[in-house]
């Protein structure tokens, strides 16, 4: 999608601080972190919301979930992390390209994220 910020990041049109990249997925640091460790994992294929995912998307979505723990540990989440997928307007999705937030740090996130 030409107007999708995440598609532009995948295409290299917008810079990002990459955590991981392969042929199917890209992980990069959030530009407005809500925790000491906060990065996103996205499929390179544009899928607007989790509600739009189909059976054909199972391999890439499964890959995202399977690699989340490894990347979280790599980034410093050694005692757990939070995984968040916002879906649609009611789910507070801001960018309409499926993305998984990985948040962690040295304190319980319930205290850090409640305002």
The band of 2, judged by pLDDT with boundaries at 50, 70 and 90, is: confident
User: For 8-36, what is the mean pLDDT?
Assistant: 96
- Ordered by start, the domain boundaries in the chain are 5-113
Whole-prediction pTM: 0.91
Contact 50, 57 (CB under 8 A): no
User: For 64-84, what is the mean pLDDT?
Assistant: 96
Residue with the bigger pLDDT between 109 and 10: it is 10
Reduced to 3 states, what is the DSSP secondary structure of residue 70?
Answer: helix
- Residue by residue, DSSP assigns 80-113 as --EEE---TTTTT--SSS--EEEEE-SS-HHHHH
**Average pLDDT over the chain, rounded to an integer:** 93
Rama region for 12: left / alpha / beta (φ>0; ψ in -120 to 50; rest): left
Active-site residue list:
99
In terms of CATH, what superfamily is 5-113?
A: HIT-like (3.30.428.10)
């Amino acid at each position: 999608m030409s107007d999708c910020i995440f598609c532009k990041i995948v295409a290299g049109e917008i810079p990002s601080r990459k955590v991981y990249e392969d042929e199917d997925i890209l992980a990069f640091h959030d530009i407005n972190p809500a925790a000491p460790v906060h990065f996103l994992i996205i499929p390179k294929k544009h899928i607007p919301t989790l509600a739009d995912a189909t059976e054909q998307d199972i391999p890439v979505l499964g890959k995202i979930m399977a690699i989340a723990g490894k990347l979280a540990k790599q980034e410093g989440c050694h005692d757990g992390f939070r995984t968040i997928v916002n879906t649609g307007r009611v789910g507070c999705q801001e960018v309409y390209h499926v993305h998984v937030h990985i948040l962690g740090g040295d304190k319980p996130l319930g205290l850090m994220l409640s305002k």
